[in-house]
Every structure is written in structure tokens, then in C-alpha cells.
Amino acid sequence: MKPITEYQDYRKYMRDFYEERKRSSLFSWREFSRLAGFTSPNYIQLVCDGKSGLSKNGVEGVANAMSIEGIDRDFFRAMVLFGDAKSDAKKTQAFKEMQRIAKENHLRVVDSEAFKYFETWVNPVMRELAPIMPGAKPLELAHQCYPVVSAAEVRYALDFLCRTDFLKKVDEDTYKQTEKIVTGSSEAIPLALRSMNRQMSKLAVDAIDEIPPEKRHVAGVTLGMSDATYKWLVQKLEVLRQQVVAMAAKEKDYDKVYRLNLQLFPLTKGKEK
């Protein structure tokens, strides 16, 4: 099996353990459940299928059955909290605990860098802004932002972007973008993206009052549509987003950094079938 820190889904981790044991022995869901202390013979299977969860005692029982000890056990506890959390705040807290455990023990968490990248809007802005302002000090970069941020925030963002290879420092206060694609595939990335979208949506609201109309474009329409039309429109918006990304990738001589939000959300509940 892969190291536990390469998982964010504890159910997948448990299932991979089961499949590996099953390949080399007569291991069964019944045996797995018994070793974990459950009276129901298929309880572990229900957990792995997402139909049930683990209590604190259940976590310890499963850890015992899988012989998870030491820092791996701490990571497993945090991973269960991450998987079962009902709010983004609790999920973020649990994922940061997973990161802390891994970092303190020099272990790798898959997509940890991408998660941190999307945690704050300053990171993507600095990734675009710093390369077009060679020689600019953090305070100068900070004053170019809407809204203005602190020089300390900019310095922290630049250090992070260079350390994780999102930017490359080529001279004193001079940076260039790498070819690294800013993306991720783990369960934690949608969580970070939701945080990013909240921040960017708030900036869009503030821009209505703080930025002159001739320097921004804000428009919208309220309309009724069916599920079929909604799916069609979502597809068209995704095509547009990809076209914008492709156009931006070819841009060589830009002097500003923009944010394009594509938002489509319901204002009423649907009719009951």
C-alpha cells in the first residue's frame, strides 16, 4: 500500500488495506469487522461504501485492526475527522492537522502545495503580478493590489511561490513564471477552491464601489430555466472558461492582473416533482 500520508480519503485507505489483505489470504469483511471490534459482520464494508461513519472508539478499533501505530495513527484520526466533517471550517482544520503531522515528521501530503496555493487570493495575484514588475519590492507589489495588502503578505506569498516552484527567482526581486500547472486532484482541493471563490466573490462585490465602472465589467441576468437548459449553460460557461485560460496562456505583454468570476446559482427552489 501507499504511505498513509498519500491518502486524504480514509475510506479508500481502509478499502485498499482490505483489498491487499484479501489478495494474499482469506480475509473478509466479516473478519475485518471482528478485528475492529464491531458486532455487525459487514459494518466495515458499510463504512468503506460511505453508508456509515466511525465513532472515536470505532477509529481506534479500525486502527488496531490495521495495525496503525505512532504518527500514522495520529494521521488516520485526523483523516477520519476530515472525511466526516460537516462544514468547510472543520474540514480545513482537520486537513491542516494532517499537514502539520506530516510536516513535523518530514512526510509528504499529496497536493498539499496546491491546497495552500488556493487558500488565499494573494498567491495567484502575485504569481501573475511579480513577473511583470521586475525589481519591485514587496511594498510596491502590495500597493498595486485591489485591495492593498501588506508587504509582509506579499513577501510570504513570494517565498511560498518560489519554494513550491510556482515562481522562479531569476534576480534580486525579479521573478518569472514556471511551466508548472496550478491544479490538484485530491479530495482537499475542492475545499480550498471554495475558500478561494468566497474570497474572490467578496472582492468582486467591493470592486463595484471601489473601482470606476470604466475599469471593470459587472453584469448579470435573472432568468428562469429548466434542468436541461441549466446543464447546457454550464457546459457553455466551461467552454468559455477554457478559452479564456488558453488565451491568457498566450498573453506575453500584459500590464494588469484580472479575475474573471463565472457564477450561476439558483434564486428559488425547484418545483416538487
pLDDT tens track for 34-79: 999 999 999 999 999 999 999 999 999 999 999 999 899 999 999 9
Per-state percent for the chain, helix, strand, coil, to nearest 5: 60, 5, 40
The DSSP secondary-structure symbol of 39 reads S
Instruction: State the average pLDDT over residues 190-201.
Output: 88
Q: Indicate if the pLDDT at residue 184 is higher than 60.
A: no
In this model, does residue 20 exceed pLDDT 80? yes
Residues near 110 by Cβ (< 8 Å), separated by ≥ 6? 5, 6, 7, 8, 186
Reported pTM: 0.67
Task: Look at strands 174-177 and 167-171 and give their pairing.
Answer: antiparallel
